[in-house]
Amino acid sequence: MSLLFTPLQLRSVTLPNRIAVSPMCQYSVTAEDGVPTDWHLVHLGSRAVGGAGLVIAEATAVEPRGRISAQDVGIWNDEQVEAWKRITRFIKEHGAIPGIQLAHAGRKAFGDWVPVAPTTEPFPGLNTPEKLESHAGIVKAFVEGALKAIEAGFEVLEIHAAHGYLLHEFYSPLTNEGSIEERIAVPVEVTAAVRAAVGSDVPVIVRISGTDWVDDGWTADDSVVLAQALKAAGADLIDVSSGGNTAQAEIPIGPGYQVPLAEAVRRKADVPTGAVGLITEAKQAEQVLLDGAADLVLLAREMLRDPYWPLRAAQELGVEVKAPRQYARAF
């Protein structure tokens, strides 16, 4: 028995295992129209073929100025929806669940447009943002993006509220003013509005930065408060990453370095979590789940090195899984 290869139920969706491809920007849109390309089909499709239970498409902008770069994908128009359909269909044909990360870059956008943020303080080296006077348009953009994502065939939504992008900028004291309740209000409102719009069947994950890694920044304890509020707003799982909102952070990088953040959120906020960050070995991933630190593990760079990581992990853990029919002779 392996926990890693035990299905995970999230609302109406059953992930066939607890391995997710962590969202990774591919900066591969050449026409600057936010429409995913053949690269996205092959990149995400390969990882579905490789056996991941959940394949989460990269940070996908809910409005044009919410892209990190002009090479990013989007989910704000019908042309994008049509292009995503081919990709989600392929992922599903190979037994994986297609997920999408709904994103807004905030002040970390570096295209030739004016970025928006809760502050006019730029991220070092990037353009000066315009201060958002109202967040209503942002909530609306996330809701419309969520509905378009479902139309495009995605079965799991992840709201990107980490890494110094817009929703993180709202809750971090480095980029916003007010009490913690005031600062978490917008990410919580976005989550509640997305939940209300998509109904009770669709799993909604929220990725947060569990700490800013600086003394005057966001902390692990703050993350517990945020996670409780996100859960109450309808989030099903909190994907706990860290950092990204300051260039000053000193991050203690090493194997599983963010796992304790996921564990604290899971235990103290009583909400399922995802663990991410230098999880590269099958036994290590299994142990994260066995320890009760998380319910799902997300792998990013290791999945770039080896799209078949889940098939290899199954072999290492002595679990029999079905390789794609076309590749059966190799497994």
Ligand X SMILES: Cc1cc2nc3c(=O)[nH]c(=O)nc-3n(C[C@H](O)[C@H](O)[C@H](O)COP(=O)(O)O)c2cc1C
**Catalytic residue annotation:** 165
* φ, ψ dihedrals at 329, nearest 5°: -65, -15
**Torsions phi, psi for 45 (to 5 deg):** -60, -40
How many CB atoms neighbour CB 253 within 10 A?
10
Nearer to ligand X, 189 or 281 (CB): 281
* Cβ proximity of 212 and 246 under 8 Å: yes
Task: For ligand X, give the closer residue by CB, 163 or 183.
Answer: 163
207/266 with CB nearer ligand X: 207
**To the nearest whole angstrom, how small is the minimum distance from the Cβ of residue 68 to ligand X?**
8
Select the residue interacting with ligand X from 3, 278, 319, 321 (CB under 6 A): 278
Q: How far, in Å, CA of 295 to CA of 291, rounded?
A: 10
25 counts as binding ligand X under rule CB under 6 A? yes
Question: By CB under 6 A, is residue 299 in contact with ligand X?
Answer: yes
Interface stretch with ligand X, choices 21-29, 105-113, 172-180, 261-269 (CB under 6 A): 21-29
Query: 43: closest CA among 304, 236, 296, 229?
Result: 304
Binding segment for ligand X among 91-99, 106-114, 156-164, 198-206 (CB under 6 A)? 156-164
Contacts with ligand X, 161-180, as mask; x by CB under 6 A: -xx-----------------
Does position 22 interact with ligand X (CB under 6 A)? The reply is: yes
Q: Is 69 left (phi over 0), alpha (psi -120 to 50) or beta?
A: beta
58 binds ligand X (CB under 6 A): yes
What is the C-alpha separation between 45 and 28, in angstroms, rounded? 15
Q: Give SS3 for 105.
A: coil
Residue 189 burial (C-beta neighbours within 10 Å; 0-12, 13-18, 19+) = middle
Q: Which amino acid is at 268?
A: K
d(CA 121, CA 128): 6
Q: Does 296 engage in binding with ligand X (CB under 6 A)?
A: no
- Give the residue, chosen from 24, 61, 141, 174, that forms a contact with ligand X under the rule CB under 6 A: 24
191 binds ligand X (CB under 6 A): no
Q: Is 249 in the site for ligand X (CB under 6 A)?
A: no
Residue 124's nearest CA partner among 249, 27, 252, 23 is 249
Minimum separation from the CB atom of position 260 to ligand X (A): 15
Smallest distance from ligand X to CB 71, Å? 12
Q: Which residues are near ligand X by CB under 6 A? A: 22-25, 58-59, 101, 160, 162-163, 207, 241, 276-279, 299-302
